[in-house]
Amino acid sequence: MTTLYQDHLTVLQQRYEAALTHFQCDAVVLASGHKQYYFQDDHTAPFHSYSGAQQWLPFTLSAETYLIIEAGKKPRIVWPIRDDFWHAPNPVPAGEWQDSWDITPARRDDKWFQGLPEKCAWLGPEPQDFAYVIPGFNTYVDFAKAVKTPYEIAAIQRASVRGAKGHLAARDAFLNGLSEFEIHLAYLQASQQTANQEPYPSIIGVNEHASVLHYEHKDFDRSANPLTLLIDAGATEHGYASDITRTFTKQDDEFRALVKSLDSAEQEMAKKALSGMSYPELHQEALRTIAGILQDHKICSLSVDEQISKGITQTFFPHGLGHLLGLQVHDVGGFHQDVLGTRREPDANAPFLRLTRTLEENMVLTIEPGLYFIPMLLDKMQAEIPQHGCNMALIKQLIPYGGIRIEDNIVVKDEAPVNLTRQAFSECEA
């Protein structure tokens, strides 16, 4: 019986062989990349391998590793050997994966690439020969990455469980009055990772900070009156990310009722991630749902249709409903309609939407509606839309709470999408 990993490799081999045929190449090299030094410094940025290379291996890939894929041949991995007593050694990981690969150890000045076929493509940074740069090859293989193999879904599922453990610890830290920094430490401890291993810098915003969409600071001071915690944080399993947001509240009040409404609406939206559904259409439905919540909670007295025609809803929900998820948090190929990279741009009223594809079974994506009180956007709305119908006195009371985002990771299915995030929380809370 084959393993999930072996089946995954077979799928990748087929996808890449189709690309090799299309571009009339004999081989493709995928390079993990190099460590990058900061300007005039001997300190490097945290290393993240090129995701296209990482996709092929069931462990976290290190720098200066090269994969060589040729039609009909066992894939080859060129493994970096270093005589370096400054850093920890980088042994070839043990495991069954080795049966599927030819492993070539190489020192930095070994000329392993001199034996490559003449018609060779290079994906990843720093090609050895610019003749290897084949325009369009990257786009061609990126298109297929949206649909995940069972091996990839299992990795995202494990990343979701680690993320859920972190979120529950963060919630408890918030309810105990700890600072953003302390909440972050609790998150890292429970999700078993260092900050550099997070798939993206976690967003941990207490009170008004919850209204900053990509708030990346961590306040060291504890809030005197903590009302809200918005935490958007994930975990990584050999490159595959989870991307989870929860909004926790301290008091049983109008803001908590708003969180509850958005949480229910988000779960309904996630159920619509079905094969054949247009994601831009789902985003338009989300705008209408949020307009309904604004009306129900008496934040805006205009009807859903009036709010939509005046563009009121985007004041409170300015970002996209979600994006593809995988080896990159905002995974590649979200705008591509085919292997040649034909793009569909988002609708004019949704400029920040990152996914314009029609959904297919086993795509993995996020559903992440938000509802924020962002002073800059509220000022703009008041200046530009005189008949906005919003209850500014109520909004003034809600501004100190910042905002709400609820984000789950969903596997698209023909009938019932799988909500990896809700499953992960259920498992951790059981």
232 binding Mn ion? (CB under 5 A): yes
Q: How far is the CB of 342 from ligand GLY (least distance, A)?
A: 24
List residues forming the annotated binding site for Mn(2+): 232, 243, 323, 368, 407
Q: Please tell me the count of residues contacting Mn ion according to CB under 5 A.
A: 5
Taking each helix axis from N to C end, the angle separating 150-175 and 4-22, rounded to the nearest 10 degrees, works out to: 120
**Which of 180, 182, 266, 368 contacts ligand GLY by CB under 6 A?**
368
208 binds, among Mn ion, ligand GLY, none (CB under 5 to 8 A by kind): none
Question: What is residue 288's three-state secondary structure?
Answer: helix
Nearer to Mn ion, 100 or 245 (CB): 245
Binders of Mn ion in range 62-81 (CB under 5 A): none
Our finding on whether 408 is near Mn ion (CB under 5 A) is no
Q: Indicate which single residue of 407, 424, 425, 428 sits in contact with ligand GLY (rule: CB under 6 A).
A: 407
Amino acid at 220: F
Q: Which amino acid is at 313?
A: T
Output the DSSP codes for 177-246: T--HHHHHHHHHHHHT--GGGSSS--EEEEGGGGGSTT-----SSPPSS--EEEEEE--EETTEE--EEE
* Binding positions for Mn ion, 338-397, rule CB under 5 A: 366
Q: Which does 200 bind (CB under 5 to 8 A by kind): ligand GLY, Mn ion, none?
A: ligand GLY
Pairing of strands 66-70, 76-80: antiparallel
SS (HEC) of 349-384: CCCCCCCCCECCCCEEEEECCEEECCHHHHHHHHHH
Query: With respect to ligand GLY, which residue has the nearer C-beta, 390 or 424?
Result: 424
Go through the chain and tell me how many residues it has: 430
SS3 content of the chain, % helix, strand, coil (to 5): 40, 15, 45
Instruction: Give, in order, the Cα–Cα distances in Å from 76 to each of 71, 80, 98.
Output: 12, 13, 10
Binding residues for ligand GLY, total number by CB under 6 A = 6
**Strand order across the 244-249 sheet:** 203-206, 228-233, 244-249
Q: Cβ 313 to ligand GLY, closest distance in Å?
A: 19
10 Å CB burial of residue 158 (0-12, 13-18, 19+) is: middle
- Nearest alpha-carbon partner for 151 in 59, 73, 235: 59
Residue 44 to residue 302: CA distance in whole angstroms = 53
State which amino acid sits at residue 343.
R
Window 188 to 217, contacts with ligand GLY (CB under 6 A): 200
Q: Which of 64, 232, 237, 331 binds ligand GLY (CB under 6 A)?
A: 232
Query: Of the candidates 208, 243, 266, 408, which one interacts with ligand GLY according to CB under 6 A?
Result: 243
Question: Could you tell me if 241 and 327 are in contact, meaning their C-beta atoms sit under 8 angstroms apart?
Answer: yes
From residue 249 to residue 288, what is the string marking binding to ligand GLY with x (rule CB under 6 A)? Answer: ----------------------------------------
Q: Which does 266 bind (CB under 5 to 8 A by kind): ligand GLY, Mn ion, none?
A: none
Minimum CB distance to ligand GLY smaller for 182 or for 232: 232
Burial 182-200 (b: 16+ CB within 10 A, else e): bbbbbbbebbebeeeebbb
76 or 283: whose CB is closer to ligand GLY?
283
Pairing of strands 244-249, 203-206: unpaired
CB of 19 or CB of 229, closer to ligand GLY: 229
Q: How far is the CB of 430 from ligand GLY (least distance, A)?
A: 26
Q: How far apart are CB 198 and ligand GLY at their closest, in Å?
A: 10
Here's the x/- map for ligand GLY, 52-91, by CB under 6 A: it reads as: ----------------------------------------
408 binds ligand GLY (CB under 6 A): no
92 interface partner picked from ligand GLY, Mn ion, none, CB below 5 to 8 A per type: none
What residues between 312 and 331 interact with ligand GLY by CB under 6 A?
Answer: 329
> Which residue positions form the known binding site?
232, 243, 323, 368, 407
Enumerate binding residues for ligand GLY (CB under 6 A).
200, 232, 243, 329, 368, 407
Contact positions vs Mn ion (CB under 5 A): 232, 243, 245, 366, 407
